[in-house]
Amino acid sequence: MSYKSLHECIDDLEKNGHLIRIKEEVDPSLEMAALHLKVFAQGGPALLFEKVKGSNYQAVSNLFGTLERSKFMFRQRFEKMQELVQLRNNPMQALRHPLRYLSTGLAAFKALPKRGSFSSAGFKEITISDLPQIKHWPMDGGAYITLPQVYTEDIEKPGVMASNVGMYRIQLSGNDFIKDKEIGLHYQIHRGIGVHQSKSNKKGLPLKVSIFVGGPPSHHLAAVMPLPEGVSELTFAGALGNRRFRYDYKDGYCISLDADFVITGEVYPNETKPEGPFGDHLGYYSLKHPFPLMRVHKVYAKEKGIWPFTVVGRPPQEDTAFGALIHEISGSAIPHEIPGVKEVHAVDAAGVHPLLLAVGSERYTPYLANKRPAELLTQANRILGTGQLSLAKYLFISSDATKELNCHDLGGFFKHVFERIDLQRDLHFYTKTTIDTLDYSGDSLNEGSKLVIAAYGDPLRELSTVLPESIHHCNFISSPVMLLGGVIGLKMDKFTSYSAARIEIDKLEEWISSVSGEFKGIVQVVIYDDFEFKQTTKLLEDYIWITYTRSNPSHDIYGIHERMVNKHWSCDAPMIIDARKKPHHAPELKMDEETTRKIERFCSKGGSLNSLRNNKNLQ
């Protein structure tokens, strides 16, 4: 379906049972987010909020809440986009099969942006305060835009074809921002906007920024699509939506003519203000830090503009479906970008960047009988030097001659690696390096460590699936649980300091060594404190979230008989990961009880969500 506007998309979704209307007035402070979270958790439809308290504009959420709905919105263009990706990866295909790819070539024409007229687009000037002021989590610093398309241009190569469009959260209110005149622009490292701002700063000039909100769904997806360097997101939006991106300039700012709202303004060199806190997609708050300040120039809105938003939190959330859609479109690109790497999976259950799984190749020494990681280490370095993949904190990489290894089969992948890992050889640390801005497990903002676990060869062990008998009689641990084959979780006292942790871990290592025979087949021990693991279908996801979001490899990994030889750290099995909460960690996201209680009125008899409660598939 080719949508000219967000209105057309919403009408189509409603007509086909993918959207319901919330007719009661809803408070944008927490209530709208809580309703979104409730419906998303049930696999429910998109929500159109007809009456947003304090605003004249409607709002919509959960548009991309399921992969099924996302593919439905792009149903007439999905295969064409996959073909375009294939042609980029292997352009010779077009020469070998010209008739087959003729329509794909014609579709590429839709990728070219088209200049139109601002005066005929139907915009009127409003203020920041007129927009829906949506606060998502109780400790958030104010209202945020969570589905923005942030547009900037290269000051050295002005124009739309060298532009960057990214989805960076925008703080509309709160903190020290001057009402209606200033907003916060939060962007993380390894983002294209940073390159544009750096070039403007060098010239001592402000960076002009346009924030588009709404418009066809292809525009939203383009803002998060990991495109190659130099490829404009506007071209992708046009090709996916089968409609050329319409734009014009007003007061020197680029305006998306199909957007529902546009905010224009400038970011001056070295001008920041505290931004945050904000409940983010790792499941914790990102805290208050200095980020670029955007001085608002003008705000525009269509008369019946609809405000799209999403809510992020502990995965899975709506951005999970975004990720799944991106993988279906561009999953074939990785082998062409990184030779020898067959697939890469940024694990959503860990909040994406904390955990990366990869299937690589070992092709260069097939004549050697002793199989060990070699080419995999080269490929790991390439992965950690590629775009946002470089933000990975833990990278597990392996290979399999049978070609059956699949890094999207999380349980199967961990089993394959843990059966083969040699803890004296296969752990490779990177210390004092960059990690994801939202990850608070490290030393400070953007700083931490990485661990590459590269395992390859014949199995070295059979993984145990039974808890050691002695574990029930150890007086300084509690609540032992088998998290998966070869992995045990143990509860210990709350973390106080790293010096105290060293003493506690030494005691644990000494005890495990004393009963080492019972730990045969155990590769990893995870220490936790305030979390209760339950034997449910979510056990694997709980293990991933706790272990890989709450640990800093250089600080929190220990092991039996750990040692340093020629600057290479190693240990005997099991390796120990201290995944307890640390004093510098950010708080976990939790919706307050009052809000949870208040939104029950929407589920009661006569409420907008009553039909969902009666649907057994959404319980």
Each residue's pLDDT tens digit, 369-395: 778 899 999 999 999 998 888 889 999
Cβ(183)–Cβ(297) under 8 Å? Answer: no
User: 122, 114, 93: which is closest to 242 by C-alpha?
Assistant: 114
Q: Read off the pLDDT band of 328 (50, 70, 90).
A: confident
Provide the 10 A C-beta neighbour count for residue 523: 23
133-137, 168-172, 282-286, 320-324: lowest mean pLDDT where?
320-324
Provide the 10 A C-beta neighbour count for residue 592: 13
**Mean pLDDT across 164-178:** 96
Q: Read off the pLDDT band of 92 (50, 70, 90).
A: very low
Q: Read off the pLDDT band of 24 (50, 70, 90).
A: very high
The residues with which 164 forms a beta bridge, in sequence order, are 152
Q: Read off the pLDDT band of 94 (50, 70, 90).
A: very low
CA distances from 401 to 8, 335, 363, 404, 456 (A): 49, 17, 10, 8, 10
Measured CA to CA, the distance from residue 391 to residue 18 in angstroms comes to 35
The whole-number pLDDT of residue 607 equals 67
144-153, 185-194, 544-553: lowest mean pLDDT where?
185-194
The whole-number pLDDT of residue 615 equals 43
Cβ(357)–Cβ(345) under 8 Å? Answer: yes
Q: Is 515 a residue whose pLDDT tops 80?
A: yes
The stretches of 42-127 forming alpha helices (DSSP H) are 67-73, 78-89, 92-96, 102-109
Domain 333-455: assigned CATH number: 3.40.1670.10
Measured CA to CA, the distance from residue 218 to residue 234 in angstroms comes to 10
Share above pLDDT 90 across residues of the chain, in percent, rounded to a whole number: 74
For the chain, the average pLDDT equals 90
Question: 599-605: long-range contacts at Cβ-Cβ below 8 A with a sequence spacing of 24 or more?
Answer: 599/31, 599/34, 599/35, 599/38, 601/24, 602/22, 602/24, 602/35
Cβ(435)–Cβ(391) under 8 Å? Answer: yes
The whole-number pLDDT of residue 536 equals 81
The whole-number pLDDT of residue 282 equals 94
CA gyration radius, the chain: 25
| Cβ within 8 Å of residue 566, ≥6 positions away | none
Question: 365-368: long-range contacts at Cβ-Cβ below 8 A with a sequence spacing of 24 or more?
Answer: none
Q: Read off the pLDDT band of 609 (50, 70, 90).
A: confident
Domain 6-309: assigned CATH number: 2.30.110.10
Provide the 10 A C-beta neighbour count for residue 614: 9
Higher pLDDT, 402 or 104: 402
Helix, strand, or coil (residue 187): coil
Q: Read off the pLDDT band of 547 (50, 70, 90).
A: very high
The whole-number pLDDT of residue 403 equals 78
| Cβ within 8 Å of residue 384, ≥6 positions away | 390, 392, 395, 430, 450, 452
pLDDT tens-digit series, residues 407-428: 999 999 999 999 999 999 999 9
* Segment holding 6, helix H or strand E: helix 6-15
The residues with which 309 forms a beta bridge, in sequence order, are 61
Do domains 333-455 and 469-578 share one topology? The answer is: yes
Q: Residue ranges of the domains in the chain?
A: 6-309, 333-455, 469-578
The whole-number pLDDT of residue 230 equals 64
Q: Is 104 a residue whose pLDDT tops 60?
A: no
The whole-number pLDDT of residue 82 equals 62
159-168, 219-228, 363-372, 565-574: lowest mean pLDDT where?
363-372
pLDDT tens-digit series, residues 561-600: 999 999 999 999 999 999 999 999 999 999 999 999 999 9
Query: What's the CA angle centered on 512, arms 508 and 514, to 5 degrees?
Result: 120
25-39, 99-113, 464-478: lowest mean pLDDT where?
99-113
**Mean pLDDT across 114-125:** 96
Q: Is 546 a residue whose pLDDT tops 90?
A: yes
**Mean pLDDT across 195-199:** 90
Share above pLDDT 70 across residues of the chain, in percent, rounded to a whole number: 91
**Mean pLDDT across 429-447:** 90
**Mean pLDDT across 201-228:** 92
Longest Cα–Cα distance of the chain, Å, equals 79
Which CATH number is 469-578's, of 3.40.1670, 2.60.40, 3.30.160, 1.20.1050? 3.40.1670
Q: Read off the pLDDT band of 91 (50, 70, 90).
A: very low
